[in-house]
Chain A
Amino acid sequence: MPSGVIHDIGYQRYTGPRLGRGYASRSLYLHGLRTAFGLGRSAKAKIFPWATAGLAVVVATVLTAIRAQAGRPLVSYADFPSMIALLTTLFCAAAAPELVSRDLRGGVLPLYFSRPLRRSDYALAKLGALVTAVWLMLAGPLVLMLVGGVFSVHGAGAVGKEIVHFLPGLAQAAFYAAVYGSLSLLVASLAGRRAVAAAVVVAVFIVTTPIVGVIAVIGGPTAQKLAFLASPTTVVQGVGTWLFGVAGPEVRPYGPVYGLAMVVLLAACLLLLLARYRRVAR
């Protein structure tokens, strides 16, 4: 008998565990998180997320170096996310269509919905993946800045203070991640073509900014302080100013209005996204 025989063992029935909806949702979330950074995709899909994330790291490195030279921080941790808001926009414009437009265009959704997963599970897993990805893209450079900061101060007390300054940075990054992630995923879920989705995502963030400028110029004192509600970018900035004293628009005493606006914006995005996936056929 020859030694190298291939045995066709035929079809094997599966008797092992079948994990439920929760497991499927978590797997989809992790899969989405990888997809947002182009992992498990072609090299082409990695270019944009890593280019924007890389630029954010470069900015953080430069800021850390300047701080080491100047001896005091040029930009606070909480200010950093506002500083690279444009990079965040570009990251979302690349990642959101990758996460949802591709499934729409390929007609993959029926394959998901014919499995234990529910339509809302799909939407929430994708949303969670994008928000986490954006947060990581912001938190990574922040951690780098923290490491640089810790090495440039002396004494345990100073290090503790540094960390206290760092936490608002993470929180502000989370606000940006939530707003940018929700809005861009909602926009992308309406377009099957990735290029179109990416363009519209950028437009939503860029085009609304001049409106803020117009209101700020022609409005009265109150209108000027509320003008920043007109664009999602400046809403998050306003919240940062209110809570963490981020440099930017003067919103006092309307800080809580900005906080409320952000919550309403997030809730609206979430509800619209769920509504979208309740209806979408393929």
Chain B
Amino acid sequence: MTLITTERLTKRYPNGVVALSDLTVSVEPGIVGLVGANGAGKSTLIKILLGLLPPTAGGVRVLGLDPTTDGEQVRARVGYMPEHDCLPPDLVAAEFVTHMGRMSGLPRATARERASEALRHVGLYEERYRQIGGYSTGMKQRVKLAQALVHDPDLLLLDEPTNGLDPAGRDAMLALVQRIGTEFGISVVVCSHLLGEVERICDSLVAIDGGRLLRSDRIAAMTTATDVLTVEVAEGTNRLAARLAALGVRADPEGRCLLIPLGEDAVYDLVLDAIADLDLPLHRLDQRRHRVAELFRTEDVHA
């Protein structure tokens, strides 16, 4: 079953702003990164997925349901973590999450039990009987995640879950999201404007810009065969390129460097041997994964 499908989804606000235009995308269960700059239409898409906003045109299905007509059923099975502050400061975390569990339809005793569990899973256990107002930003983000998780949804929609967190907090939050997606078996859509952040934990990526789909694919498909070797020599760059060409190895010059796609392991040795044979002064030899960002950049150029 596909997690989310949209078919030529368009949203035009009454003031004429087009937030989404002709968005057709299909996402499989797993951890999905929804990336785009601020104002790209991520939040609008989330609101449509929750059935809170009717699309102007096009179709959408979430967990096999149509949120425009069965919004209630969709919302019962989806957990949503908003981007902004959404916690009452003078409530105790355990009580607040319990209340939200009941709002999602959990019976009273179950709600209390699952609230404790959810808070424990996000890493708040000792602190859960304290007022939320006294929490750090990181702890508040965890409570926000716990309230989205309390009713055991089939899909979590997380809007910028790492907002306002320091680097260590970001890593912890991303690790948590990854655990939810893998160990808990709950599909997650993570919205972010930081591609580098979500690409680490996602199975697939949907990139939108200006309400249009840039690209949607599995991460594996985007990054396989895109490992590159960057070679920088102080002199004789052309000689090296010629030697590699003679050996049948592709080498693209980029500035003072040569970029060599690493198809198989042998290529690495061939390059090293070539440099040694030519006795070139090697400055840099850098193997790196092609960042997904670069893929989007090239997509942009072609578009």
> Footprint of B on A, CB under 8 Å?
10-14, 16-21, 23-24, 27-28, 31, 40-42, 45, 102-103, 106-108, 110-118, 282
Contact = CB atoms under 8 A, between A and B. Distances in A.
B101 to A, nearest CB: 10
B88 A114 contact: no
B114 to A, nearest CB: 7
B102 A114 contact: no
Interface residue tally on B, bucketed by range: 35 or more
Contacts of A16: 106-107, 110
Contacts of B50: 114
Contacts of A41: 90-91
Contacts of B121: 11
Contacts of A40: 95
B75 interface: yes
B102 to A, nearest CB: 4
B295 interface: no
Contacts of A42: 90, 131
A41 B88 CA distance: 11
B166 interface: no
Contacts of A113: 52
A250 B102 CA distance: 49
B104 A24 contact: yes
Interface stretch (B32-40, B55-63, B76-84, B223-231): B76-84
B117 A24 contact: no
Interface in B174-198: 183-185
B7 interface: no
B263 interface: no
Interface string B142-174: 000001000110000000000000000000000
B290 interface: no
A271 to B, nearest CB: 22
A115 B104 contact: yes
Contacts, number: 98
25 contacts: A11-B184, A13-B152, A13-B185, A14-B110, A19-B106, A20-B105, A24-B105, A27-B103, A40-B95, A41-B90, A42-B131, A102-B88, A102-B90, A103-B88, A106-B86, A106-B87, A107-B84, A110-B86, A111-B147, A114-B52, A114-B75, A115-B76, A116-B73, A116-B75, A116-B104
Contacts of A103: 88
Interface in B3-37: none
Nearest to A40: B95
Contacts of A45: 90
B82 A111 contact: yes
Contacts of B90: 41-42, 45, 102
B173 to A, nearest CB: 17
Contacts of A107: 82, 84-86
A260 to B, nearest CB: 37
B105 A19 contact: yes
A21 B108 CA distance: 15
A55 B52 CA distance: 45
Contact of A108 (B87, B184, B185): B87
B80 A111 contact: yes
A28 B52 CA distance: 20
A12 B90 CA distance: 30
A178 B110 CA distance: 34
A27 to B, nearest CB: 4
B64 interface: no
B80 A110 contact: yes
Given A18-B104, A116-B104, A116-B105, A111 B76 contact: no
B93 interface: no
Contacts of B271: none
Contacts of B117: 11-12
B152 A116 contact: no
B103 A28 contact: yes
Contact of B102 (A14, A21, A24): A24
A118 to B, nearest CB: 8
Contact of B76 (A10, A116, A118): A116
Nearest to A31: B99
Contacts of A102: 88, 90
